[in-house]
Amino acid sequence: MLPPGFAQRMRGLVGTDGVVDRPESLLVYECDGYTLERAAPEAVVLPRTPAEVAQVIRALWKDGVPFVPRGAGTGLSGGTLPVEAPVMVCTSRLQKIESIDIANRRVVAQAGVVNLWVSRAVKDAGLHFAPDPSSQNACTIGGNVAENSGGPHTLKYGVTTNHVLGLELVLPTGEVVQLGGPVEDRPGYDLTGLVVGSEGTLGLVTRATLRLTRVPESYRTFLAVFDSVADASEAVSGIIASGIIPAALEMMDGLILRAVEDAFHAGLPVDAGAVLLIELDGPEAGLPSQSEEVRELCKAQGAVEVRTARDDAERTLLWKARKRAFGAVGRLAPNYCTQDGVVPRTQVPEILRRISATAEKHSLRIGNVFHAGDGNIHPIILFDERNAGEVERVLAAGTEILEACVALGGSVTGEHGIGVEKIAQMPLLFSPEDLHAMATLRSVFDPQRRANPHKLLPDSKVCVEARAPRRQAAM
């Protein structure tokens, strides 16, 4: 329950249009991209500047009110659902790219700047911001930092943490601190790296100093067509084992292919068992020989066909189809749940076999579209929430898939984060001592658990008794 006069005080800080508190308007904020659980805040505050964010957080601290940070709402683990935190502080209005330093290849961007805007701002200088989540047309820098977002091209270029030099962080007390900065490789503890991926549990990021990367001189983009997921998986292992590191190496199975082709008409083979979308980049001089080697490796693993994008337009269409695959799934079922786990890339064929067995066990359809090059899987579980018992089967299937990832030597998340969705699986990876150490570290930043409470780490709100299973080889 909010204290008396709360909304009026907030409007005094951020303006009359900066507070949302009507119940019908709050429905927009009751979920993010992960929709199996919903919870609406009592109020949403929308500051326009980093200074206003600090003022709002100081006022919340004074009133003893916990808060949930939110960016564009594209998260996929329920990280912005308000759990015993009645106020949501939304950074979507912090939309300024404050400085661009081409010579030193860095920009300073506010938390509400959309990911793709950064690359567009420096395109003419031949630079870009390398992390490219599938939602990069909408997701914001603050959310990317909170979740340590990835994307197809992180196989070669790394995830968000590899491209953040410094952060401005508003602590739960309202104090503003600067972490890192424009200088590379600062001595001392990497506090910037600590905050990246902390899911808003250490405070609220308002600004980020981002590293820019030179746009590659040339590209080669291939679509390798296979009769089965198993053959495509073996081709992935073959390419990586050869020493070639593609910029991206993505897989879509037959179920996803048909949905994507119906939506975007990209010329995808709807009768295929799976395809690999492979992209090489770098100096033009080295690409012809690498391209031929990749073709031969795919054919050696049974590729029916290996197509090459003929021009930028065809390359763009292929990537549009891949990055919008999740939206296309809406053609297959009224609801879907996207899981996110990791296995060693050599275990990709085995985890896909286990996903198939899980689908059969629970009478569910599961499609697969994922970052095959680094073993980051994204099984998409199709369902209809109106059917009694189906949601429970989806939850059970998701848990089994994550447990299988850990058993095969992997992790319960690669880029979507823990949020509320995967807290119960954290003890599969970490001992009680590990989790206690993380909670102690969190207390340094937020001793009263005011910032995004009951997220990321198990606590009294989430009773967890699971223990890590013995890791085993593929069966």
- Residue spans of alpha helices (H) in 362-449: 390-407, 426-429, 432-445
* 255 and 302 housed in the same domain: yes
Structure tokens at 79: 């990280």
* 242 and 302 housed in the same domain: yes
* 102 and 207 housed in the same domain: yes
* 341 and 320 housed in the same domain: no
Give a yes or no: residue 465 inside a domain: no
Give a yes or no: residue 139 inside a domain: yes
Q: State the CATH number of the domain containing residue 225.
A: 3.30.70.2190
Report the 10 Å Cβ neighbour count for 370: 28
Q: So what's the pLDDT on residue 346?
A: 87
Lowest mean pLDDT among 79-88, 183-192, 361-370: 183-192
SS3 92: coil
- Residue spans of alpha helices (H) in 301-431: 312-323, 325-328, 348-361, 390-407, 426-429
For residues 435 and 459, the answer to whether their CB atoms sit within 8 Å is no
Banded model confidence at residue 184, pLDDT cuts 50, 70, 90? confident
Structure tokens at 394: 């989806």
* 86 and 115 housed in the same domain: no
Q: So what's the pLDDT on residue 465?
A: 37
Residue 336 neighbours by CB under 8 Å, 6+ apart: 326, 329, 330, 380, 381, 382, 383
Give a yes or no: residue 368 inside a domain: yes
* 307 and 365 housed in the same domain: no
Instruction: Kindly tell me if the per-residue pLDDT of 472 is higher than 70.
Output: no
More confident residue, 37 or 331: 331
For residues 167 and 195, the answer to whether their CB atoms sit within 8 Å is yes
* 343 and 434 housed in the same domain: yes
Q: So what's the pLDDT on residue 374?
A: 93
Banded model confidence at residue 466, pLDDT cuts 50, 70, 90? very low
Q: So what's the pLDDT on residue 463?
A: 44
Instruction: Kindly tell me if the per-residue pLDDT of 464 is higher than 90.
Output: no
Token look-up 């993380």 returns 438
Overall size of the chain counted in residues: 475
Instruction: Kindly tell me if the per-residue pLDDT of 469 is higher than 80.
Output: no
* 64 and 124 housed in the same domain: no
Burial class of residue 234 (count of CB atoms within 10 Å of its CB; 0-12, 13-18, 19+) = buried
* 159 and 103 housed in the same domain: yes
Encode pLDDT of 415-436 as tens digits: 999 999 999 999 999 999 999 9
d(CA 379, CA 357): 13
Give a yes or no: residue 34 inside a domain: yes
Report the 10 Å Cβ neighbour count for 49: 14
Instruction: Kindly tell me if the per-residue pLDDT of 445 is higher than 90.
Output: yes
* 137 and 173 housed in the same domain: yes
Encode pLDDT of 11-59 as tens digits: 999 999 999 999 999 999 999 987 678 899 999 999 999 999 999 999 9
Q: How many domains does the chain have?
A: 4
For residues 155 and 279, the answer to whether their CB atoms sit within 8 Å is no
Q: State the CATH number of the domain containing residue 17.
A: 3.30.43.10
* 110 and 179 housed in the same domain: yes
pLDDT over 70 for what percent of the chain? 96
**Last residue of a domain, which of 328, 355, 379?**
328
Q: So what's the pLDDT on residue 370?
A: 95
Which residue in 257, 269, 268, 422 sits closest to 337, CA to CA? 422
Give a yes or no: residue 475 inside a domain: no
**Last residue of a domain, which of 40, 71, 90?**
90
Average pLDDT over residues 261-283: 96
Host domain of residue 416: 333-445
DSSP letters spanning 191-255:
HHHHHTTSTTSS-EEEEEEEE-EEPPSEEEEEEEEES-HHHHHHHHHHHHHTT---SEEEEEEHH
**Last residue of a domain, which of 328, 346, 376?**
328
Average pLDDT over residues 98-119: 98
Sheet holding 204-211, edge to edge: 97-101, 106-110, 204-211, 164-170, 176-180
Q: So what's the pLDDT on residue 33?
A: 85
Give a yes or no: residue 467 inside a domain: no
Average pLDDT over residues 168-189: 94
Q: State the CATH number of the domain containing residue 115.
A: 3.30.465.10
Provide the mean pLDDT of the chain: 94
Q: So what's the pLDDT on residue 470?
A: 32
Encode pLDDT of 121-147 as tens digits: 999 999 999 999 999 999 999 999 999
d(CA 48, CA 11): 12
* 349 and 400 housed in the same domain: yes
Give a yes or no: residue 382 inside a domain: yes
Q: State the CATH number of the domain containing residue 397.
A: 3.30.70.2740
Q: So what's the pLDDT on residue 416?
A: 94
Give a yes or no: residue 458 inside a domain: no
Q: So what's the pLDDT on residue 461?
A: 62
